[in-house]
Structure 1
Amino acid sequence: MKKILFVSSEVHPLIKTGGLADVAGSLPIALAELGQEVRIIIPKYQALKLEEEITYLCTLRINNRDVNILETRLPDSDVIVWLVDCPEYFDIPGNPYSDEFGNAWANSAARFCLFCRVAVEVSQNRAHLDWKADIVHCNDWQSGLVPALLTLEPQRPSTVFTIHNMAYQGLFSKTAYFDLNLPGQLWNPGALEFHSLLSFIKGGIACADHITTVSPNYALEIQTAEYGYGLEGLLHNRHHELNGIINGIDTDIWNPETDPRIAQNYAIDSLPKKAGNKLALQKHCSLPEEPTIPLIGLISRLVDQKGIDLVIDCLGDLVSYPVQFVLLGSGEKGFEHRLKNLSYLYPDKISVSIGYNEDLAHLIEAGSDMFLMPSRFEPCGLNQLYSQRYGTLPIVRRTGGLADTVVDAMPDTIADKTATGFMFVEPSVGAMLETIKRAILLYANKRIWQQLQKNAMRKDFSWQKSAQQYLDLYNTL
């Protein structure tokens, strides 16, 4: 049994801004179910949704500040969560990265530096919690200082650093480095210095014993200039200690057999019942209730990374085909307005809901025939996994985790029953439109389509599978 300290800036359902929270809320539970002793450590933000009882454990003196360590549990589990309580830094309105008005915190470096220092003290049992970590598993730039600081410890745990998205790096000025009173020996290109800046993420990449990303393909992509953001050389240099492990999904929440948020439950052997969800979705979106017309769903942040501009540029052509399109998301105001305008122009073809609605998200996954994800880059992606579980075939761009989890429907993959969706390579309107047309043509062949749905629904995207891969990795360190 390993003692694992899981260091994350967000954990679902306590606080969430993105996919990192889903991983941090699921992987520790799956590891605990494999018999490991896991502790999660996270800042005690004002916005935390705390349901379980909280107890005070101790007070640490860090950089002339008193910091309390509190204990609670992850809801519906036995996993212990340690909260880093520093009111001056964390007990203020806003989310982990920005204030209540959406502005990035001016003192982000100080906040997460303090968090990292506390994680180091806890891992070394210097918080006197009678618990010393064997493995410290850090996630994204907010915890990047932990592996770097631990290299200075004579007796230290092994460290794993997981990159969820290379686009966010935690870059700060050289003065910030010295203001934070960080050890002088870490100010070098082999640790925290990046072109005379302090780079939190570089600390994790350069100093951790092992680096993981959230898909095998993304592990290769970040070693290239296009996706490496200046750190591709370092990542390539460490490619022997770098691998990708696909994120799992919560198969209890995302399960068409038991999902309480959808209109009609169904399974692989009762696929015709899926049609009830399509009618419910068409009704909800005020679209013509036509069972035979292919319906394409999309749930996304409306930003460039997700290829939303391609979708907007494609919709004008797409409406000339027998197809309906349902979108749920929010993001850049320009994209929101353009999508809304298209839904007003083609009300019997396009439905656009701005915002986020968990019930509608589940209904879109269950009620759509196809699910569109034309991302420019996608470290892992979750919606293509949900879609396959619901027999909704994904149409994706061949990048990152999308390339690792969807098998393109080609004559050979259809014949050997491995095909689970559709894929295009070029991030262009033409390539995407051709692939959508290919999907619409295949949709007309009900026998083949149902086989593809069953192929997709049989795939195992559970956290148990991913957790076992992480455990195998821990055991090699």
Structure 2
Amino acid sequence: MIEVLYCSSEVVPFAKTGGLADVSGALPLSLEKLGVKVNIVMPLYSLVDRAKFKLSKAGNATYKAVIGSRINIFFIENKAFFDRPSLYTDSNGDYKDNLERFSYYCNRSLALIKEFSLKPDVIHCNDWQTCLIPVYLKANYSKDPYYKNIKTLLTLHNLGYQGIFPKEEYPKLGLDNSFFSVDGLEFYGKVNLLKAGIRFCDIINTVSPRYSRDIQTSEFGFGLEGLLKERSDRLYGILNGIDYSIWDPRKDDFIARKFSPEDVHLKTVNKNDLQKVCSLPQKDVPVVGMVSRIVEHKGFDIICEAIDKICSLPLQVVILGKGEDRYEKLLKAAAKKYPGKISVNFAFDDLLAHKIYAGADMFLMPSQYEPCGLGQMISLKYGSIPIVFNTGGLADSVNEDNGFVFYKYGCNPLAETVKKALAVYTDKKEWAKLVVNAMEADFSWERSARQYIKLYEKAKEI
């Protein structure tokens, strides 16, 4: 049996700012079902509900809870570092002591392995907050026989977030100066924690196969493409899964009418419900949905450029999300200009999100870059045909058998692809085939977990 120590700075249902927490909550459960022994380590933030999740004192500044059948979650306590209203930032930006906060977390994660007699074959690190673990393992534990055979795997969820700090803070890490070099943590005169993880981990993976190739280019490498190319023989891509206990039209209590590939015609009930909820005329035109942060890299630059062309077509658009003021203003103006055509909802609304996935005929996701993306996988499950740009996880999950892809990033290719989707929509037989193909795609966490087990095996052999 493989034993894994899963290290993440956020885990659902305990603390979340983004998709990292969803992955960290779901993947260990699927690994356990496949026979992997998993323990998880995360910081004990003040927003973790100790009573609700039945946390118990486990030892020196450590608390414990259980998820799944027997997955222990160890919470590292440090009130000075983690007793704050949010995880990484306040109204002034990133917390000034994030380097110290997460170096403490990494050091304690390694120490508790021995304290609690854990025997991990692999420590699974996630993003920059955990990247000092392989560094400290090499620097501080290499002579301790208890840690001798432990291997490390780093999952890169988004290369845009690297944990970069001024070089003046380097002494706070307690590392020898030899680690602050081009072959270590140094990055253009600063400390780069993600670079450290990429350099010192035994195996690296991204959250989609395509993204593992994308990040080796200057366009998507954020300055680390050279190092990633150098380590390409240890770099893999595994597509994230989605939680079908939450996202499944056959058992979704949020939607007007449950449906499946066998009775996909019932999707129309959800479409009518969505039109009603969004105050759009209830007529038989394609509804294009979007659930997204309203920011540039999610494609809102080209959406706003193409909005007049899109709105000249026989369709309706429903957008849900929050983000940058400039795009929210442009979308608000478009909704005013095209009444009965566009519904914009500047919020995070779980109920409406479910209704959009269930009621839309098409789902727009023209991200400029997308490490994995979950929206397109959810839309496929609900038979809402995705329209995507050919990048990252979008390229790995959407093709001509289940959606529409455009290959040059721009407003014209986007508008033309929407037009193409509308043309196929008029062929009811062809469209029905597309919808069934989409709904039968498998993006379960079990599928992803099996691939992670193969990586753990590879790491053990190194």
| Alignment TM class, shorter chain as reference | over 0.9
1:141 aligned to which of 128, 131, 136 = 128
Match of residue 89 from structure 2: 98
Q: Deviations over 1:355-412 (max 9, x none)?
A: 101111011000000000110100000000001011110000000000010012xxxx
Q: Deviations over 1:311-354 (max 9, x none)?
A: 11211221111100000000112212221222222220000001
List aligned pairs for 1:370-409, cutoff 5 A: 370-408=362-400
Moved more, 394-403 or 306-315: 306-315
> What runs of 5+ residues in structure 1 fail to find an aligned partner?
60-67, 409-418
1:122 aligned to which of 105, 108, 112 = 112
List aligned pairs for 1:66-465, cutoff 5 A: 68-74=61-67, 78-94=70-86, 96-99=87-90, 101=91, 103-123=93-113, 125=114, 128-152=115-139, 153-154=142-143, 155-290=148-283, 292-408=284-400, 419-465=401-447
Moved more, 220-229 or 47-56: 47-56
Match of residue 30 from structure 1: 30
Separation of aligned partners in 2, 1:203 and 1:49? 33
Q: Deviations over 1:187-230 (max 9, x none)?
A: 22222122221111011100000000000100001001111111
Separation of aligned partners in 1, 2:390 and 2:207? 15
Closer, same or farther: CA 102–325 of 1 in aligned 2, 3 Å? farther
Separation of aligned partners in 2, 1:179 and 1:475? 35
Match of residue 20 from structure 2: 20
Separation of aligned partners in 2, 1:276 and 1:302? 28
Separation of aligned partners in 2, 1:460 and 1:381? 15
User: What RMSD in Å do the two structures reach over aligned CA positions?
Assistant: 1.2
Separation of aligned partners in 2, 1:332 and 1:462? 32
Partner SS for 1:311: helix
8 Å Cα contact 1:13/1:49 also seen in 2: no
Match of residue 5 from structure 2: 5
Amino acid at match of 1:196: G
Partner SS for 2:321: strand
Separation of aligned partners in 2, 1:216 and 1:122? 33
Partner SS for 2:317: strand
Partner SS for 2:241: coil
Amino acid at match of 1:387: S
Q: Deviations over 1:154-175 (max 9, x none)?
A: 3141100010000010011111
Shift >3 Å, 4+ stretches: none
Separation of aligned partners in 1, 2:125 and 2:322? 29
Amino acid at match of 2:63: L
8 Å Cα contact 1:122/1:132 also seen in 2: no
TM-score (normalizing by structure 2) = 0.96
Q: Deviations over 1:52-74 (max 9, x none)?
A: 21111222xxxxxxxx1110123
> What runs of 5+ residues in structure 2 fail to find an aligned partner?
none
8 Å Cα contact 1:46/1:91 also seen in 2: yes
> What percent of counterpart residues are identical?
41
8 Å Cα contact 1:148/1:192 also seen in 2: no
Match of residue 411 from structure 1: none
Match of residue 471 from structure 1: 453
Separation of aligned partners in 2, 1:345 and 1:21? 39
Separation of aligned partners in 2, 1:375 and 1:316? 19
8 Å Cα contact 1:15/1:49 also seen in 2: no
- 1:111 Cα offset (Å): 0.7
Separation of aligned partners in 1, 2:379 and 2:300? 19
Partner SS for 1:27: helix
Match of residue 63 from structure 1: none
- 1:122 Cα offset (Å): 2.3
Closer, same or farther: CA 439–470 of 1 in aligned 2, 3 Å? same
Separation of aligned partners in 1, 2:233 and 2:224? 16
Larger relative CO (CA 8 A, sep 6+): 1 or 2?
A: 2
Separation of aligned partners in 2, 1:17 and 1:427? 28
Partner SS for 2:94: coil
Separation of aligned partners in 1, 2:370 and 2:150? 31
Separation of aligned partners in 2, 1:12 and 1:78? 16
8 Å Cα contact 1:261/1:359 also seen in 2: yes
Match of residue 62 from structure 1: none
- 1:77 Cα offset (Å): 5.4
Amino acid at match of 1:117: N
Amino acid at match of 1:22: D
Partner SS for 1:287: coil
Amino acid at match of 2:53: E
Amino acid at match of 1:98: T
- 1:262 Cα offset (Å): 0.7
8 Å Cα contact 1:388/1:394 also seen in 2: yes
Question: Does residue 42 of structure 1 match 2:42?
Answer: yes
Separation of aligned partners in 2, 1:49 and 1:399? 38
